[in-house]
Amino acid sequence: MDSPVVVVGAGPIGLVLACELLGQGVPVRVVDAEREHSAHSRATTIWPRPLELLRRIGVADRIVEEGHRIQGVTYYSDHRPLATAWLNRLGATPYPFAVGLPQDRTEALLVERLEELGGKVERGVRLASLDAGGPRARLRLALPGGGTEEVEAPWVIGADGAHSTVRKELGIGFAGAQLKINFAITDAELSGDIPSDLVSYCYTAQGGLGLAPISPTVHRVAVSVPPELAERTPDREFFQRIVEERGPGRVRLGELRFSTVFRVHVRTADRFRSGRALLVGDAAHLMSPAGGQGMNTGLQDAANLGWKLAGVLRGTFDESLLDSYDDERRRAVHAVTRSTSMQTRWGALTKPSQLALRDTLVRAAGRSGVLQWRLAPKIGQLDATYRDGGAPAVRPWGTAAPGDRLPVLLGEGAAPAGPSWAGISGRDHAVILHAGRTRPADWQGVCARIRAAVGERAEVLDAPSGPHGPLAVALGRRPAAAVVRPDGHLFELLTDPAPGAVLAALSRARREALPR
């Protein structure tokens, strides 16, 4: 590891990945073609699962402290509430809420953490060319003063957005389509009949409206608009009229902080890796902004790739482990893309029969509890899973399968207030010992023998006691040893825990992302 990994792009995804690597002793060089942060706030909402992952690099609590807590997502039709999916009723996460925070502030907190870890952002440095086909990647960087620099790197990460130079230099296709929907967005102070702790989606026959709080008084306002408005910059009067037509009640807009219109593209790179280069975030996939899932999905890319690449460069993991990045994240991206595209289409319905059916379904889901136990975890990305077939990981019954996210506390530092959590550092795989519903008489002896056998190979901890906690439910009724990946996903659940079986599973985990 004599030369650093080069991360191209200093948005949230590139910064998180750089922090992941630096935190595990991997040198990193972060370059960004822009000289300054954008003045526009792009992504504004961070959901529970990405908060869990951000705790691995030591920034989740800073984001929570500076940001604005969001307790749920509510749906309206023609000014009338249909139902609410409550994040604050989610019991299987240390972060039962979302955080509203302008992207420039998220980036500032990540840069602060990057610098604490010994890194920095080289601004105004542009990738001019890239050859990732050899044993080391070769880059030519255009410097701010007009010169160039030839660089070799063990790996290059393309975190440089939808128009990624890395992706283009690699010759990777970016297949997809442009939806027949445009969105106008702004940030503005809102007053009147608008909840300050809920994301509000308002549907009408004229179009959709999304209102996402980023402070007690300021909201992101997103409006679907027809194609003929795609080339204009909407003013305050335009947004005020739309909010009155589609909003939840009497709402007044203050001055706009910015205003823009963009076309919705849904695209996925043909592959997320080429030679010694890998793609993350918008460089790898674009999706509808409905649901605010885009940046959050990219944050999961960074967490998935970060521990794998760091382990490979440290010599802990076999390089073949990186082959799982494309497969795992591609399936996850497709699942989120389907969900956001469906929400976009639902917001664009105009026929009375379609509107009546949609409203009936949402009301029924709210009254039956389906909205709460299925949609709320999906919104929070707590249904993240890498299991074969991608079946939903969040369900009110059943034992977790390899690939499922486990309700554990990632990273270090004091735990959030509330229930007891099994806390793992996230530096390497961990072993969680679960006594089951009825603790065996010799359980202490079993645990002692497993701890002695594992030694320094992995951290070993006990699952919190109590049969009804979220981790106990996920690990099942029987005594078990769970081998857990650094990102909190289950590698293997051993229901006949013994030292030899645990050691064999840890050995497999260093070669494979999941058991074959």
The reported pLDDT for the residue numbered 393 is: 46
Q: What are the sequence ranges of the domains in the chain?
A: 5-44+102-173+270-340, 176-265, 388-509
The reported pLDDT for the residue numbered 304 is: 97
DSSP string across 325-370: HHHHHHHHHHHHHHHHHHHHHHHT--SHHHHHHHHHHHHHHHHHSH
| Residue 23: strand pairing partners | none
3-class SS at 434?
A: strand
Residue 298 tokens read as: 């990219």
Strands annotated E in 193-250: 198-204, 207-213, 218-225
Q: Which residue shows structure tokens 């999961």?
A: 300
The predicted-structure confidence for 26-80, as pLDDT tens digits, reads as follows 999 999 998 665 545 578 999 999 999 999 999 999 999 999 999 999 999 988 9
Instruction: List the chain residues with pLDDT less than 70.
Output: 1, 35-41, 229-231, 347, 389-398
| Fold (topology level) of 388-509 | Glutaredoxin (3.40.30)
- Assigned CATH class of 5-44+102-173+270-340: alpha beta
For the chain, the straight-line distance linking the first and the last C-alpha, in angstroms and rounded, comes to 30
Query: 484-516 b/e with 16+ CB inside 10 Å = b?
Result: bbbbbbbbbbbbebebebbbebbeebeebbbee
The reported pLDDT for the residue numbered 71 is: 97
CA pair distance 359, 83, nearest whole angstrom: 9
- CA distances for 289 relative to 43, 44, 266, angstroms: 9, 11, 10
Closest CA to 358 of 83, 87, 86: 83
Q: What are phi and psi of 110, to 5 degrees?
A: -70, -40
Indicate yes or no: pTM above 0.75.
Answer: yes
The reported pLDDT for the residue numbered 350 is: 73
Contacts of 327 (CB under 8 A, 6+ apart): none
The predicted-structure confidence for 369-418, as pLDDT tens digits, reads as follows 999 989 999 999 999 999 976 554 444 446 899 999 999 999 988 777 77
Based on its alpha-carbon atoms, the radius of gyration of the chain, rounded to whole angstroms, reads: 23
3-state DSSP percent of the chain in helix, strand and coil, to 5: 35, 30, 35
| Fold (topology level) of 176-265 | D-Amino Acid Oxidase; Chain A, domain 2 (3.30.9)
The reported pLDDT for the residue numbered 36 is: 65
The reported pLDDT for the residue numbered 340 is: 75
DSSP string across 301-334: HHHHHHHHHHHHHHTSS-GGGGHHHHHHHHHHHH
Q: Quick one: DSSP state of residue 25? A: T
Closest CA to 481 of 507, 459, 455, 462: 462
Q: Which residue shows structure tokens 């393309």?
A: 158
- The amino acid sitting at 331 is R
